[in-house]
């Protein structure tokens, strides 16, 4: 027995509200981030991830009050990403109560942000999010801007470089699989996880509980992230953990 | 003493202490919890929490620059004191992280995971990040109501190696056992983050805010 594999529900937040039809039974307000976070916490989520997809500049600070409100009530690690452009953004999110901040597009545009943020706040709170897509050479390419912009960067080399610059964790999303419910891209996940010495969170494509298991056993992921299977009430975090344990994966059940 | 705050959280400019203070306020709604870098306030507080994240060298330097070394040492010697994460590591004599001296309140040193073996030893990742089992070695008031082997949230690349095995209050395995909680008189320190360890963490913090600082340690076995 030892370190448990983590299950991380992800909440997409726009203008301070959780989006993507949440259909929890018994919630007064399906879009209230605090209520949803509390629900996942009580089901045994090991961490929570918040992806801020707010488009308008005026509404950007709303995520800070969301994190403040969640952090005052939910005592598990909170990772926040989306629109992190400079060290000041990282600081604001950490001060609001985030434990880790994930950097995506800006890591590509300005890799120094990763090293600066890591040396300023510690690697433990810097997550680099990598969105990757299969290329014709049988490898994977890094994309930015929500998966719209190709970069020409090899995802495995990029992950290694991010580790060198001080990333404490990699949040890896397969663009090919995201939203398909056909399971993680296991070769991609395994290639990255085996190539770096820091933890890797697998994301993109979860449609059932067996997919979570495969992310760990075949993808070698240290943590698995899912949004829709939890949001739509198909499975609870508790069910996911019970299933993973049945399949021989160590999870936190207390 | 009587006019001091209930709980002082030592702030030396390293990282976010909001989650620590929020968790303390949650378990002690009536207590006055202050995040402070004022040595006088730490001196007068009834209890002191000493958190920390980042690199040991930076933390030690910030602590010295703010004139907090004496206040922390004095608190660690006299009143209920809780070190968390780097706030545990700094209590020891020396760290491999940057080859720096710690506060030297407790004998022992701080070592890097798999430092001798290279980072990918055992196929385990560094930092040791996530929920791991905490095996209580000795009874202590701060473990009241917490199951042996309860999971707590860890995130660290270095661990303490106390010179005195008697002070090890709990151990954790990654994959070899290391000291994840130490206790001595009025002092208790943990490598994990109770403020991020959901129920078990809140129980521990709740025990701390009621603890009078007597260790009354006995062996569980």
Q: Please identify among residues 196-225 of chain A the ones whose CB lies closer than 8 Å to any CB of chain B.
A: 196-200, 222-223
CA–CA dist A234, A223 (Å, integer): 20
Closest CA to B105 of B59, B57, B72, B65: B72
Specify if B56 maps to a domain.
Answer: yes
Q: What is the pTM of this model?
A: 0.94
Parent domain of B148: 2-213
* Facing residue for B150 by CB, picked from A3, A222, A254: A254
Residues A73, A77, A82, A87: is their CA dihedral positive or negative? positive
SS3 B189: strand
- The CATH number for B139's domain is 3.40.50.880
End-to-end alpha carbon distance in chain A: 14
DSSP strands (E only) in A135-177: 140-144, 149-154, 169-174
Per-residue pLDDT tens for B46-82?
999 999 888 899 899 999 999 999 999 999 999 999 9
* Facing residue for B155 by CB, picked from A73, A121, A124: A124
Element (H, E) at B83: strand B81-84
CA–CA dist B144, B149 (Å, integer): 13
Specify if B220 maps to a domain.
Answer: no
Specify if B200 maps to a domain.
Answer: yes
Specify if B207 maps to a domain.
Answer: yes
Specify if B101 maps to a domain.
Answer: yes
- CB proximity A40 to B under 8 Å: no
Q: pLDDT (tens digit, 0 to 9) for every residue of chain A, 254 residues total? A: 799 999 999 999 999 999 875 666 667 777 899 999 999 999 999 999 999 998 788 888 999 999 999 999 999 999 999 999 999 999 999 989 999 999 999 999 999 999 999 988 889 999 999 999 999 999 999 999 988 999 999 999 999 999 999 999 999 999 999 989 999 999 999 999 999 999 999 999 999 999 999 999 999 999 999 988 998 888 999 999 999 999 999 999 96
Specify if B100 maps to a domain.
Answer: yes
What is the bridge-based pairing of β-strands B94-95 and B100-101?
antiparallel
Element (H, E) at A156: helix A155-165
- CB of B168 closer than 8 Å to CB of B134: no
Specify if B209 maps to a domain.
Answer: yes
- CB of B180 closer than 8 Å to CB of B189: no
CA–CA dist B149, A254 (Å, integer): 10
CA A64 to chain B, closest CA, distance in angstroms equals 13
- Cα angle B155, A191, A117; round to 5: 40
Neighbours of A20 (CB within 10 A): 15
Q: Report the domain count for chain B.
A: 1
Asked if A124 lies within 8 A of B200 by C-beta distance, the reply is no
Q: What is the signed CA dihedral for B171, B172, B178, B181, rounded to 10 degrees?
A: -50
- CB proximity A249 to B under 8 Å: no
Question: What ipTM was estimated for this complex?
Answer: 0.94
Specify if B218 maps to a domain.
Answer: no
The gap from C-alpha A98 to its chain's centroid, in whole angstroms, comes to 13
Q: Burial, B99: exposed, middle or buried (Cβ in 10 Å; 0-12, 13-18, 19+)?
A: exposed
A-chain residues near B156 (CB < 8 A):
124
SS3 A212: helix
């Amino acid at each position: 027995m030892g370190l448990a594999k983590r299950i991380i529900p992800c909440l997409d937040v726009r203008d301070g509200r959780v989006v993507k039809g949440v259909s929890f039974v018994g919630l007064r307000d399906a879009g209230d981030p605090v209520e949803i976070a509390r629900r996942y916490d009580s089901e045994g989520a090991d961490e929570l991830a918040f992806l801020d997809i707010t488009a308008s500049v005026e509404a950007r600070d709303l995520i800070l009050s969301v994190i403040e409100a969640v952090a005052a009530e939910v005592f598990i690690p909170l990772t926040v990403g989306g629109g992190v452009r400079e060290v000041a953004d990282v600081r604001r999110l950490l001060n609001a109560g985030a434990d880790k901040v994930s950097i995506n597009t800006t890591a590509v545009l300005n890799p120094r942000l990763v090293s600066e943020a890591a040396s300023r706040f510690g690697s433990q709170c810097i997550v680099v999010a990598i969105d990757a897509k299969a290329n014709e050479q049988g490898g994977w390419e890094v994309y930015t801007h929500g998966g719209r912009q190709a970069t020409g960067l090899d995802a495995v080399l990029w992950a290694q470089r991010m580790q060198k610059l001080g990333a404490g964790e990699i949040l890896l999303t397969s663009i090919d699989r995201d939203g398909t419910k056909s399971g993680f891209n296991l070769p991609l996940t395994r290639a990255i996880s085996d190539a770096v010495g820091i933890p890797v969170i697998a994301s993109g494509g979860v449609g059932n509980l067996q997919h979570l298991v495969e992310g760990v056993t075949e993808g070698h992921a240290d943590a698995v992230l899912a949004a829709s299977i939890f949001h739509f009430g198909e499975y609870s975090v508790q069910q996911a953990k019970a299933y993973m344990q049945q399949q021989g994966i160590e999870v936190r059940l207390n | 003493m009587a006019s001091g705050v209930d709980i002082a959280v030592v702030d030396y400019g390293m990282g976010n202490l909001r989650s620590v203070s929020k968790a303390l306020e949650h378990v002690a709604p009536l207590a006055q919890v202050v995040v402070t870098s004022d040595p006088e306030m730490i001196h007068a507080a009834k209890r002191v929490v000493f958190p920390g994240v980042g690199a040991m060298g930076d933390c030690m330097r910030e602590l010295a620059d703010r004139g907090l070394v004496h206040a922390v040492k004095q608190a660690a010697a006299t009143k209920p004191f809780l070190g968390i994460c780097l706030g545990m590591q700094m209590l020891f004599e020396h760290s491999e992280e940057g080859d720096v001296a710690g506060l030297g309140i407790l004998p022992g040193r701080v070592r890097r995971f798999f430092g001798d073996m290279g980072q990918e030893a055992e196929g385990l990742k560094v930092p040791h990040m996530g929920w791991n089992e905490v095996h209580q070695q000795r009874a202590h008031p701060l473990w009241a109501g917490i199951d042996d082997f309860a999971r707590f949230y860890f995130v660290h690349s270095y661990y303490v190696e106390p010179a005195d095995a008697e002070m090890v209050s709990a151990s954790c395995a990654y994959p070899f056992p290391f000291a994840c909680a130490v206790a001595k008189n009025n002092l208790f320190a943990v490598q994990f983050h109770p403020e991020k360890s959901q129920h078990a963490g809140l129980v521990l913090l709740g025990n701390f805010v009621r603890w009078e600082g007597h260790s009354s340690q006995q062996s569980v076995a």
